[in-house]
Amino acid sequence: MTKRRFPRPAELAPLLKFKTPTLNFKKRRLESALTLWDLRTIAKRRTPKAPFDYCDGSAEAEISLARARQAFEDVEFQPSILRDVSQVSTSWDVLGSPVAFPVGIAPTGFTRMMQSDGEDAGASMAAKWGVPFTLSTMGTRSIEHVQQVAPEGRNWFQLYMWKDRERSMELVERAAQAGVDTLMVTVDVPVAGARLRDKRNGFSIPPALTMGTVLNALPRPWWWFDFLTTDPLEFASLSSWQGTVGELLDHMFDPTVTYEDLAWIKKQWKGKLVVKGVQGLEDSKKLATMGVDGIVLSNHGGRQLDRAPIPFHLLPSVVKEVGKDVEVHVDTGIMSGADIVAAIAMGARFTMVGRAYLYGLMAGGTQGVDRMFHILTEQMTRTMRLLGVASLEELEPGHVTQLRRLLPRV
């Protein structure tokens, strides 16, 4: 039989060390988030339905987004053992300049609608973590404002070609004058995708106070307090808009844009030129022959064509064909640092996150974006160590097996 005794006080003392409670509720809330999915849960709890769904949702049946995320979940890593990974380097050059990590903030629209810190939080935290921030044409701060907020940061500008070409080029000129060194042209938006959550929610700019939005806002008074007591929305590309999101997008997007328009922009722009929204091998090859500096394999976060190609699955073939001539970047579906490691191993030079950034923003403003970067980079370095690699240059396709659930029928 087990012999028992009374524990001595000296033995109990080490077990009775209680953690000092954190009185800062925001800090405690964010420290409880261990994954980006945790940040999403907090964001959903704190944000009214219409702006949260605008960020969280995608087009039509939302199949493209689900498949993109599933593609990363279907990665099988192939680790090496007995490697010295006491020191891990996560930095290298992207478009000719160093980044501390191969991940940056993707362009997002209506950002201050999610949380009042908006682009200020994204630009300042990207600068802190040594990675690029991309301001969207549909962003809610001006190009000049972002440069003032993060003068030491690496700030890019994303362009939609409007039907009004002169207005488009005014934005390009403003970006150049503000010191932006990289222009990202998005090419997968001839028309707006059918974002059904926004239609059902009646999402508009500015938000409309209906009985539904009032009832939804009652448990989230802090969001309305932030929205009503901070600066009115200021768009990167236009001063104001009264109408629905769909009407604004249809006003701005141009279904007549062609390769000739892209070549025209390239002649005007003296800095680095990146084309976002590439979804096929032939287009990748054509862009490489045009001499662009980078392409982003992206289906717009699943927000345009539903059932679009999965960017992560395109990586191997595109890198093999054009990787020596043009940098290949990727976005859509990234929800962990392991996803970033997998993309780099498959040949991507750089990755971007949009929803992950907005989940952090909605969860806790500037501190929430900081937490998002902390989670991503910690996951990335840990994954590299467990794979047995000490630098990004050591990552290679042999470290990743892309398991496929969907195969074309012969």
Q: Is 170 helix (H, G, I), strand (E, B) or coil?
A: helix
| DSSP 8-state code for residue 233 | P
Structure tokens at 170: 């005014």
- Active-site annotation holds for 145: no
Residue 107 contacts residue 354 (beta carbons within 8 Å): yes
Indicate which residue of 300, 313, 329, 374 is catalytic. Answer: 300
DSSP line for 3-26 = ---PPPHHHHGGGG-PPPPP--HH
Residue 160 backbone phi and psi in degrees, to 5:
-100, 135
CB contact burial 279-290 (16+ within 10 A = b; e otherwise):
beeebbeebbee
Ramachandran sector of residue 274 (left: φ over 0; alpha: ψ -120 to 50; beta: rest): beta
What's the alpha-carbon Rg for the chain, to the nearest Å? Answer: 23
Per the CB < 8 A criterion, the answer to whether 342 and 90 are in contact is: no
Helices (H), 57-210: 63-73, 111-114, 118-129, 143-149, 165-178, 196-201
Q: In 240-322, at which residue ranges do the beta strands (DSSP E only) sit?
A: 243-244, 272-278, 294-297
C-alpha pair distances (Å), 182 with each of 179, 272, 388: 9, 5, 34
Token pair, residue 289, equals 């022959």
* Active-site residue set: 300
